[in-house]
Structure 1
Amino acid sequence: MTTSTSAATGGLKRRLGVFDSVVIGLGSMIGAGIFVAPSPAAGAAGSGLLLGLGLAALVAYCNATSSARLAGRYPESGGTYVYGRERLGEFWGYLAGWGFVVGKTASCAAMSLTVGSYVWPGHEHAVAVAAVVALTALNCTGVHKSARLTRVIVAFVLAVLAAVVAACLGSGAAQTGRLATGADATAGGVLQAAGLLFFAFAGYARIATLGEEVRDPRRTIPRAIPLALGIALLVYAAVTVTLLAVLGPDRLAHAPAAAAEAARVAGVPGLVPVVRAGAAVAALGSLLALILGVSRTTLAMARDHHLPHVLAAVHPRFEVPHRAELAVGAVVAVLAATTDVRGAIGFSSFGVLAYYAIANAAAWTLTPDEGRPPRAVPVIGLAGCLLLAFALPSASVVSGTAVLTAGALAYGVRRALRHGRR
């Protein structure tokens, strides 16, 4: 089924190896999330922030393991949309794809606005729209060019974060007593923080959604996903410990630019503009990878007529789903002109947690011969996704539930109409 569908609509060329796959995953995870997610998470968990980070990492590990096993078996564009369809049925695949597309479209808007707020404060919406247009155009010229740019972005952001950690911890401003979990940490707050931090960990999905463009995907994807997640976890842990040690949970919760504030408090103001540049570049890298991932899921859903089939076209020269990328870019540009950053984080997390809940349910159905993960992995992953999703701020839960319900209703109406014509 997979091969014939791809042939009918045009195939994508396999260009990405392990290194580029890991870099694309890191470009999504070590993106603007590291610069914006710790503050709202600290507001929820207080000094229990590290517990929230650990919980988010545990759920992310289970999701990554389930996704890697499934991606090795179904190396197609679309990620969990394909896995849910093949293992659980058409509706669950559709719901996963719908949750991913709407959630990650919100993430795209958040990342583009982060670029704008760091590059030109007060004109962030205009810069955000320009960034979306430029990166969409780049993606339309070929995934290998996107991968090369992502390498440069990831290297620069890692260097900036390393400088922040070294400068802050070496300045004498850090206070290790601030790292202890205090009375302000509640179970609900830790769960909410984990849900918000999950926004930053979910980038490894980009590796799976690019499955049709990865060389030897049955080996490459299961290697690349845990590598990318492991590196991202180490970076997030180091930066979070540094921010807590320098700012403390209360100050961190109210710092819109936490890494820059930590550099200032640590007595290295010369590092502040470098951090701002790093945040803007990180957001660009995340936005680049996000547009790649959303457009590939859009391609897969269009192939199955859950989205307009015209979006399933693949460019004959550049071998990319150019119509899907242009459509995604247009929607993101509109959102970037009308939304705000923090509101998008919770909404995005809810949609993506629903996506991974379906991935874990699909992984449960794998047999040992198909590479099934240990049984505890999809169980913990599924339960963790549902728990974190409904622990998010109420506005995110309500809006996320409404959008998923609307998608399910649209599916039901379309299915009823299709059967009525027969």
Structure 2
Amino acid sequence: MTGSPPAAPARRLGTADAVVIGLGSMLGAGVFAAFAPAARAAGAGLLIALVLAAAVAYCNATSSARLAALHPESGGTYVYGRRRLGDFYGYLAGWGFVVGKTASCAAMALTVAAYAAPGAGRGVRTVVAVTAVAALTAANYRGIHRSALVTRVLVAVALVALVCVVAACLLGGQARAEHFAPFPGTGVRGVLEAAGLLFFAFAGYARIATLGEEVRDPRRTIPRAIPVALGITFAVYASVALATLAALGPGRLASATDPLAFAVERGGWSALAPVVRVGAVAAALGSLLALILGVSRTAFAMARDGHLPAALAALHPRFQVPHRAELAVGAVVAAVAASVDLRGAIGFSSFAVLVYYAIANASALTLRADEGPPPRAVPVLGLVGCVVLAVSLPLASVLSGAAVLAVGAAVWALRRGRRN
């Protein structure tokens, strides 16, 4: 008698839901958390860095979409690496994703706390961050469809706030053409570092690929949803970058802890600043919701394959979601959010996720003609771009990210040696 096939999550997401989940992942980190450190690295070159980050993200998205259509399973590049390159590369991608995106989750929780409790002490902000993680973990626990509905609301609120930012910056009287002058002391190295930091903002389209087992008709839905979500996000980011640079200039943008609200407060439309703060909280919550969703699905896939504790591969009998993986991820994120620095979390996450997408592009290079590969230049440029941006990040982020990946590789080698 053959064993029953492994349990799989229910397929409930359509194209619109998948796009919204991707937007919820991206419209939070970049606009409200990454612009200031990127401006510090590149000044007005932030605009060039944004284009570079988007170009690398497009290559990654195209490679990921083709792979996800062929391998519509939870886990994203963890699955593609295993199928196309071998177990080690799949494991390394999964390890990098889980670790890097756990840092991203913590960064988003801290962003929620910073905008929801401005001026509050560390203890209050920690309570707010942990509460946000707990609430959104509970939303995911109740089922993927409900998570998509919550994300729709949060994305809508964030978009309204960003429209207010652009209008207030351009029409409030503070915009100046001279603010686009080059920032002293920056060059190619600074632009590449800024692009690596801004890539953190675009990486949310991975949430769509990691939900491969919960999307209806994944061969059509995933390739459609990823570029749509990425294109909308780039248009929003470019508009906000132009507006905030015009209003503040690179120096003040680089030094602001809440640059979008700060830019609005300095002009004649300062009454919109509270709307921007509410939108920042909504955007960060939407990003956190989808991030927890993606990390838990990768943890679920790795547990199902024996790379993480088997208990994490359980599905809830009623909601058909990997509830133990979600609870475990939520607990770890809450602990990390209580102890990390926001900017350090962004750099560390960017390094790990760029490694993740380098493996995705390498996997796409193995696609045969009958498997519908992207033009060969796309995964080649994506692979090179990921490597260049990763090594251009701040040295502390590169060293810490490389160390954590090395630890993951050592764990894999030990486990393999024991099995052999």
Describe how 1:172-191 pairs up with structure 2 within 5 A.
172-181=173-182, 184-191=185-192
SS at match of 1:198: helix
Q: Which moved more, 1:209-218 or 1:118-127?
A: 118-127
Cα offset for 1:183?
5.5
Describe how 1:404-419 pairs up with structure 2 within 5 A.
404-419=405-420
Number of the residue aligned with 2:106: 109
2:26 maps to a residue whose letter is: M
Maintained 8 Å contact 2:30/2:237: no
The reply to whether residue 77 of structure 1 matches residue 74 of structure 2 is yes
**1:124-156 CA deviation, whole Å, 9 max, x = no partner?**
111111111111111011000000000011111
Number of the residue aligned with 1:336: 337
Describe how 1:265-284 pairs up with structure 2 within 5 A.
265-284=266-285
- Aligned with 2:97 (options 97, 100, 103): 100
Number of the residue aligned with 2:371: 370
**1:255-314 CA deviation, whole Å, 9 max, x = no partner?**
010000110112222111111111111111000000000000001100110001111111
Query: How far, CA to CA, are the matches of 1:219 and 1:78 in structure 2?
Result: 18
Query: How far, CA to CA, are the matches of 1:372 and 1:107 in structure 2?
Result: 30
1:156 maps to a residue whose letter is: V
1:27 maps to a residue whose letter is: G
2:11 maps to a residue whose letter is: R
Number of the residue aligned with 1:55: 52
Describe how 1:320-335 pairs up with structure 2 within 5 A.
320-335=321-336
Number of the residue aligned with 2:398: 397
What stretches of structure 2 of length at least 5 have no aligned partner? none
Maintained 8 Å contact 1:22/1:228: yes
Query: How far, CA to CA, are the matches of 2:303 and 2:133 in structure 1?
Result: 22
* TM-score normalised by L of structure 2: 0.97
The reply to whether residue 356 of structure 1 matches residue 360 of structure 2 is no
1:94 maps to a residue whose letter is: Y
Query: How far, CA to CA, are the matches of 1:320 and 1:44 in structure 2?
Result: 41
Maintained 8 Å contact 1:47/1:185: no
Query: How far, CA to CA, are the matches of 1:180 and 1:311 in structure 2?
Result: 52
Query: How far, CA to CA, are the matches of 1:368 and 1:196 in structure 2?
Result: 35
**1:296-339 CA deviation, whole Å, 9 max, x = no partner?**
00011001100011111111100000010011011001111111
Number of the residue aligned with 1:64: 61
Q: Which moved more, 1:176-185 or 1:276-285?
A: 176-185
Maintained 8 Å contact 2:183/2:251: no
Cα offset for 1:47?
1.7
Maintained 8 Å contact 1:49/1:190: yes
Maintained 8 Å contact 1:96/1:355: yes
RMSD of aligned alpha carbons: 1.2
Maintained 8 Å contact 1:354/1:385: yes
- Aligned with 1:11 (options 8, 15, 38): 8
Query: How far, CA to CA, are the matches of 1:62 and 1:175 in structure 2?
Result: 34
Number of the residue aligned with 1:165: 166
The reply to whether residue 37 of structure 1 matches residue 34 of structure 2 is yes
Query: How far, CA to CA, are the matches of 1:79 and 1:274 in structure 2?
Result: 35
2:398 maps to a residue whose letter is: V
1:25 maps to a residue whose letter is: G
**1:377-422 CA deviation, whole Å, 9 max, x = no partner?**
0000000000000100000000000000000000000000110xxx
Maintained 8 Å contact 1:347/1:397: yes
Cα offset for 1:180?
4.7
Query: How far, CA to CA, are the matches of 1:21 and 1:191 in structure 2?
Result: 30
**1:97-134 CA deviation, whole Å, 9 max, x = no partner?**
00000000000011011111111232111111111111
State how many pairs are aligned: 415
Query: How far, CA to CA, are the matches of 1:176 and 1:239 in structure 2?
Result: 15
Query: How far, CA to CA, are the matches of 2:293 and 2:390 in structure 1?
Result: 24
Number of the residue aligned with 1:198: 199
Maintained 8 Å contact 2:173/2:268: no
SS at match of 1:174: coil
CA separation of 1:180 and 1:68: change in aligned 2, threshold 3 A? farther
1:115 maps to a residue whose letter is: V
SS at match of 1:246: helix
Number of the residue aligned with 1:23: 20
Query: How far, CA to CA, are the matches of 1:115 and 1:8 in structure 2?
Result: 41
Maintained 8 Å contact 1:9/1:312: no
SS at match of 1:97: helix
2:254 maps to a residue whose letter is: A
Cα offset for 1:33?
2.6
Cα offset for 1:182?
5.5
Cα offset for 1:185?
3.3
Maintained 8 Å contact 1:39/1:253: yes
Number of the residue aligned with 1:207: 208
Maintained 8 Å contact 1:32/1:279: no
1:213 maps to a residue whose letter is: E
Query: Aligned residues: percent identity?
Result: 67
Number of the residue aligned with 1:136: 137
SS at match of 1:9: coil
**1:335-391 CA deviation, whole Å, 9 max, x = no partner?**
111112111000000010000000000000001211100010000000000000010
SS at match of 1:37: helix
Query: How far, CA to CA, are the matches of 1:397 and 1:291 in structure 2?
Result: 24
Maintained 8 Å contact 2:42/2:183: no
SS at match of 2:107: helix
Query: How far, CA to CA, are the matches of 1:165 and 1:63 in structure 2?
Result: 28
Cα offset for 1:181?
4.2
